Amino acid sequence: MSSNPLSYPLEQMMEIKKTRFDQAVKTLEEKKAILEKAYEKLYDLTEERNIVAKHKADKLAQLRDALDEGTSTDKIQQMKVYIKTVDEKLAERQKKVAEQQKLVDLAQKQVDLATEDLFQKKKDLEKLEMHKQEWEKEVRYWTEQKEAALHDEQGSATHTIRKGAESRRKSREKE
């Protein structure tokens, strides 16, 4: 083989694709972290909503018990007003849960897009790596062909020189 091996002509492009792939990996990790935080917040908000819903159910049961016992209308009216307040609080918590669910869905879409992007970049990089391997095989083949032709030429020249020298020697011997 020659002393100066050929360098792959698309080496810079390969480096760029490798860098883009590495960046896509980082982006995917970041998007997954954002999704994880969104899920945690959704869980916390859901827990808060469930606590308020349980509180409402407890207060409704307390109101039913008060009605069954025949408690004064003022007391029942106070309980109804309080339950209305709890209803508003529950609606507020439910709204927060719904908003957070939208954020979770958006974060999931971002993760899906980042995953698709990562696979595409990996595919591009793998294609280029396969191309490089094919290119290297081809370079080796052509280098071997060139060296074989050079050896054939040297062999032919050596053979011609020897044959010429032998024929001159034979012609001298005949003289």
Reply yes or no on whether the pLDDT at 127 is more than 70.
yes
Question: Is residue 23, in this structure, part of any structural domain at all?
Answer: yes
Question: Is residue 41, in this structure, part of any structural domain at all?
Answer: yes
Question: Is residue 68, in this structure, part of any structural domain at all?
Answer: yes
Q: State how many domains the chain has.
A: 1
Question: Is residue 156, in this structure, part of any structural domain at all?
Answer: no
Reply yes or no on whether the pLDDT at 122 is more than 80.
yes
The whole-chain average pLDDT of the chain stands at: 90
Query: 45 near 100, Cβ under 8 Å?
Result: yes
In tens, the pLDDT along 137-146 reads 999 999 898 8
What CATH number has the domain bearing residue 22? 1.10.287.1700
Question: Is residue 172, in this structure, part of any structural domain at all?
Answer: no
Distances (CA, A) of 168 to 69, 73, 161, 162, 163: 139, 140, 10, 10, 9
Distance of alpha carbon 175 from the chain centroid: 87
For tokens 């016992």, name the residue: 69
For the ranges 4-8, 35-39, 115-119, 128-132, which has the lowest average pLDDT?
4-8
**Whole-number pLDDT of residue 4:** 47
Question: Is residue 31, in this structure, part of any structural domain at all?
Answer: yes
**Whole-number pLDDT of residue 175:** 66
Task: Quote the tokens at residue 57.
Answer: 């159910």
Question: Is residue 51, in this structure, part of any structural domain at all?
Answer: yes
Instruction: Say how far apart CA 88 and CA 126 lie, in whole Å.
Output: 57
Angle value at C-alpha 155, between 150 and 161, nearest 5 degrees: 125
**Whole-number pLDDT of residue 157:** 74
Domain that holds residue 83: 11-125
Question: Is residue 87, in this structure, part of any structural domain at all?
Answer: yes
**Global confidence as pTM:** 0.70
